[in-house]
């Protein structure tokens, strides 16, 4: 019995079972009377608890960190540890899904783009309607801002359809420098090769059987499947398109992104745009400084390494 709660429970048992006084019970268990008599004065968490449960029900695949960000946005002055305590008390923990086999061997980190439209990722995801028919989703993802640029659902998507969807995105967002994709037949078709040559877009294909080389898109695939596809039934193609559009808008404008310091992709893109404009207006102010001088300051003698032993 080392915790105050255990001392209080033991003292209460001795008082009830053996009709001891509180002073004698504390002496028997070696506890402090002030600790045994203490009553918590914690503020009522009823309203916060109910809102947390409502958000967890609405965002079933969100952990306590993202729920804490959403609560702070709504004006609740609460820290992360308090949200975690209520989260655990209400048993709202997200159940981990079964893992998948990982490729073994040496891996090279994916270089992160530093500007919007520097690199897009393309991939396909499959699902089915309630009647068992299959449909596919073409996703277009900006690897820098983490924005989902398109979720195109249809029962069949050809290379020419992919080219038309890319032209539509370029019309309102601008042309990418590079596009990364796997070696699917739609993305290696003559229509895509011709499109990339005409638009002067560098199209990079990952190595066969190496989805980790398109890691940004694979990560987004997991979020899409975990938060929408595994949680939602689709009655028709129109129903799927409407729900995908709603989720895409929520992902870009509401959902906090952990790799962006819990900003939304849209907020991060706006902040990056402002930073780029300031950098272009004052290039000298943002010039990189050398990390260290090539000379040994404070001494005109060259440094030598002392040999151990």
Helix (H, G, I), strand (E, B) or coil at 204: strand
DSSP character at residue 18:
S
Distance CA 76, CA 69 (A): 10
Distance CA 2, CA 6 (A): 7
Distance CA 173, CA 49 (A): 41
**pTM reported for the whole predicted model:** 0.71
Along the 309 residues of the chain, how does pLDDT read in single tens digits?
478 888 888 989 999 999 889 899 899 988 888 888 888 777 778 899 999 999 998 888 889 999 999 999 999 989 999 999 999 989 888 877 665 544 333 334 557 788 999 999 999 999 999 999 999 999 999 999 999 999 999 999 999 999 999 999 999 999 999 999 999 999 999 999 999 999 999 999 988 888 888 889 999 999 999 999 999 999 999 999 999 999 999 999 999 999 899 999 999 999 999 988 888 777 766 554 443 333 433 434 443 334 443
Distance CA 89, CA 63 (A): 14
Element (H, E) at 126: strand 119-128
Q: Are 25 and 15 within 8 A, CB to CB?
A: yes
């Amino acid at each position: 019995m080392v915790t105050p709660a255990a001392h209080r429970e033991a003292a209460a048992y001795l008082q009830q079972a053996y009709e001891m006084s509180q002073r004698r019970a504390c002496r028997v268990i070696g506890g402090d009377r002030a600790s045994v008599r203490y009553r918590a004065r914690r503020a009522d968490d009823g309203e916060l608890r109910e809102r947390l449960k409502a958000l967890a029900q609405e965002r079933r695949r969100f952990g306590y960190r993202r729920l804490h960000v959403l609560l702070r946005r709504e004006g609740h002055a609460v820290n992360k540890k308090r949200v975690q305590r209520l989260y655990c008390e209400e048993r709202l923990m997200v159940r981990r899904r079964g893992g998948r086999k990982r490729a073994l061997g040496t891996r090279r980190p994916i270089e992160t783009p530093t500007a919007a439209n520097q690199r897009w990722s393309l991939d396909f995801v499959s699902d089915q309607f309630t009647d068992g028919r299959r449909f596919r989703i073409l996703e277009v993802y900006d690897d820098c801002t983490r924005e989902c640029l398109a979720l195109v659902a249809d029962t069949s998507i050809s290379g020419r359809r992919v080219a038309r969807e890319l032209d539509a995105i370029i019309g309102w967002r601008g042309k990418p420098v590079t596009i990364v994709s796997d070696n699917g037949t739609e993305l290696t078709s003559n229509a895509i090769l011709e499109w990339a040559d005409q638009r002067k877009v560098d199209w990079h294909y990952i190595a066969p059987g190496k989805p980790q080389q398109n890691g940004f898109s694979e990560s987004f695939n997991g979020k899409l499947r975990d938060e929408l596809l595994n949680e939602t039934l689709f009655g028709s193609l129109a129903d799927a398109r409407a729900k995908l559009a709603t989720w895409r808008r929520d992902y870009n404008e509401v959902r906090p992104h952990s790799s962006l310091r819990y900003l939304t992709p849209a907020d991060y893109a706006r902040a990056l745009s402002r930073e780029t404009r300031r950098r272009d207006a004052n290039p000298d102010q943002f010039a990189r400084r050398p990390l260290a001088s090539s000379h040994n300051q404070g001494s005109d003698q060259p440094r030598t390494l002392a040999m151990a032993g």
